[in-house]
A and B are shown apart, each in its own frame.
Chain A
Amino acid sequence: MRIRFEKRLTPSRFMLVATPIASVLLTMLLGAVIFELIGFDGPHAIYETFITPIVASYKWQDVLTKAAPLIIIALGLSLGNQAKIWNIGAEGQYIIGALTGAGVAFFLPNAQAFWIIPLMIAAGVFGGMVWAAVPALLKTRFRVSEVLSSLMLVYVALQVLNYLIGGPWKDPNGHNFPQTPPFTPAQLLPKVIPGTVVPPGFVVAIVLTLVFWILTTRSVYGFSVRTVGAAPSAARYGGFDASRTVWSTLMISGGMAGLAGILEAMSQLGQINLGFPSGYGFTAIIVSFLGRLHPIGVFLAGLILAVTYVGGQVAQTVVHVPQATAGIFQATMLFFILASDILVRYRLRFVRAGPVAKPATVGASA
């Protein structure tokens, strides 16, 4: 017996949906086994990590708060990933977006009018776009891989943040802590929409999920992005400009990351401090893949990853598992989803051992 992979003519829709679910379930199973092995109550830890945040209503606000930036960033990343443009520097765009938005607040401390909030948000989106424009420019002008350039800029963004909050934008009343002055009430969004557990960012995430769903499934632009990714030469013949796709997808994903950053700052922290960079920009990459680059999938995947964040903290306090396990869970989930990718594009065939035919179809099908 040996296993053969046979290329499917069209990707399996069943596998497309089933494999992310299986990945989450397998992660839970593997997690329970590993926790047992390293001396914790495995099933209990898994229950607290994956189930408690869903069944305990007092955790819902936490889950939705964490899901909002993940979904918003991952929606943008998924669009680029469909065109095989890998923006892995969303964390940097998230930070710069929050900083440009906070800059508006810093320079207009006395503005009370209604327009200060939209202005801060617009500045946040703009900041994220500017930070993503660097890899876009370098890729289209100099053919520099956006993977490395966008990532390097995360480290630069972290230093920009350290510089601004510890220097020119430092809170004069902050007891010398590196942080910006707190936003004024006029510059703040509520933590949750009054009377609900829903943070404003999550409403934005829902609206944007629908917008992206229409954009990717019902617009020529969405089609052109997919074509550039799946068949670059066909896209060229079809008149879809590859470098315009690079620019547009990086601008959209950068803008989305900036938006997530400023919304997080305005609704949750109320200022920028050293704790602001939280790794959402990296986790959103997992969300994008777990959601199969589809807006609805991304929305659900964002909720699942948010559950693991919140549940990871629960498990930490209740079962005393180390904090680092949340990251391992997230990576494991991504490993499973990437491993199962092959089931979408290929059919597994078990062939009886015997004279093995020389694989003649290698290049054409691979």
Chain B
Amino acid sequence: MTLAFIIDALITVVGVTTPILLAATGELVAEKSGVINLGVEGMMLIGAITAFAVAFDFGPDLGDAAPWVAVIAAALAGAASSMLFAVLALTLGSNQVATGLALTIFGIGLSSLIGAGYVGMTVPAFDSFFPERLTGDPVGRVVFGYSPLVYFALFMVFAVGWFLNRTRAGLVLRAVGENDISAHSIGYPVLRIRYAAIAFGGALAGIAGSYFSMVITPMWAEQMTAGRGWIALALVVFSGWRAGRLLLGAYFFGILMTLELYAKASGFSFLPSQFWAAMPYIMAVVVLAVISARGVAGSEAPSCLGRPFMPNA
């Protein structure tokens, strides 16, 4: 194994990990507030097509700012679509599993509808913004050679960890997720906090989606997120609802997905390529079982997760 190979592999791992890390970090905040939003995959797709459409249509006018504007648009689109879920699940107290699923189906449909006109187009990739003398040599590339979104994802997971555990607002958010009735009775606006948490989750899912259409393959393809939104959901359970373990788990899955890519590319494989493609999902199930078998997952989940709360009723 040469150094170049190891560096390539490292860069691939970071690349495939970033979107699931972003989406899972957003979902972690939503779940900590007591809401489970299964619409991650749909919100990611809406983010992916929004970023691509903005970059394609306005890119020439925006110049260097184009990818940044595109990613911000993806965040706004993700947050906006999450509000569909929020109105139903929070204000109208609907079943969260079904509502989240509806959002995913909606996101798949809406993104293909908008994306129909963009199939086959490309935009410039949203690559490293560091000067070339930093990214030139191999070691520099491992540190500086990524899209800004990679650093943003790492920053967000630390920021969310700090917010949840070290700030008063984070404490209130956790309280809402652990005991909505008590939080309400001492005067915290339970639903408003949950709305905000869902919007944050939607924004990060949107950015995660933009990573697919702006960084991995700077083009649009239907359902290009390929089920990674569901991996992000499993990742939250895997993490035991803790930011630190979320980061570890994301890289664990990232390594698995990289193995898949390398096994496919090298042609050298004693196992069929489909096995590697199924690997992240098989491992997600295995990992969920192992985590839950230790009896920790159940006790770590926010107590009000998935339960509607109707203060006006």
CA distance A322 to B110 in the complex (A): 11
Size of B's binding interface in residues, CB under 8 A: 51
Given contacts A6-B313, A155-B227, A342-B92, contact A335 B84 (CB under 8 A): yes
Interface membership of A160, Cβ < 8 A: yes
Given contacts A152-B234, A328-B110, contact A322 B275 (CB under 8 A): no
A326 pairs with B109, CB closer than 8 A: yes
CB < 8 Å: which of B98, B113, B230, B272 contacts A289?
A: B98
Interface membership of A58, Cβ < 8 A: no
Inside 8 A of A162's CB, which chain B residues have their CB? 274, 277
B277 pairs with A148, CB closer than 8 A: no
CB < 8 Å: which of B106, B108, B311, B313 contacts A346?
A: B313
Interface membership of B244, Cβ < 8 A: no
A151 pairs with B230, CB closer than 8 A: yes
Q: Which of B56-64, B201-209, B210-218, B279-287 contacts A (4 or more CB under 8 A)?
A: B279-287
B106 pairs with A332, CB closer than 8 A: yes
CA distance A286 to B98 in the complex (A): 8
Interface membership of A267, Cβ < 8 A: no
Given contacts A148-B234, A322-B113, contact A4 B282 (CB under 8 A): no
A34-78 CB mask vs B (1 if < 8 Å, else 0) is: 000000000000000000000000000000000000000000000
Interface membership of A260, Cβ < 8 A: no
Nearest CB in chain A to that of B114: its residue? A324
B312 pairs with A331, CB closer than 8 A: no
CB < 8 Å: which of B108, B237, B293, B311 contacts A148?
A: B237
Inside 8 A of A342's CB, which chain B residues have their CB? 92-94
A343-366 CB mask vs B (1 if < 8 Å, else 0) is: 000100000000000010111011
Given contacts A4-B312, A162-B274, A362-B181, contact A152 B105 (CB under 8 A): no
Inside 8 A of B102's CB, which chain A residues have their CB? 286, 331, 334-335, 338
Interface membership of B278, Cβ < 8 A: yes
B94 pairs with A167, CB closer than 8 A: no
Interface membership of B310, Cβ < 8 A: yes
Inside 8 A of A152's CB, which chain B residues have their CB? 230, 234, 281-282, 284-285
B binding-site residues for A, Cβ under 8 Å: 38, 84, 87-88, 92-95, 97-99, 101-103, 105-106, 108-110, 112-113, 116, 181, 184-185, 227, 230, 233-234, 237, 272, 274-275, 277-278, 281-282, 284-285, 288-289, 292-293, 297-298, 308-313
Write 25 A-B pairs (CB below 8 A) sorted by A numbering: A4-B313, A138-B285, A141-B293, A144-B289, A144-B292, A147-B97, A148-B237, A148-B288, A151-B230, A156-B278, A160-B278, A163-B272, A163-B274, A286-B102, A323-B112, A324-B112, A326-B109, A328-B110, A332-B106, A338-B88, A339-B92, A339-B94, A341-B93, A341-B94, A366-B308
List 13 additional contacts besides A286-B102, A325-B109, A325-B113; criterion CB under 8 Å: A5-B313, A142-B289, A143-B297, A148-B285, A155-B227, A156-B282, A163-B274, A324-B112, A335-B106, A338-B102, A365-B313, A366-B181, A366-B309
A binding-site residues for B, Cβ under 8 Å: 3-7, 86, 88, 134, 138, 141-145, 147-149, 151-153, 155-156, 159-160, 162-163, 166-167, 282, 285-286, 289, 322-332, 334-335, 338-339, 341-342, 346, 359, 361-363, 365-366
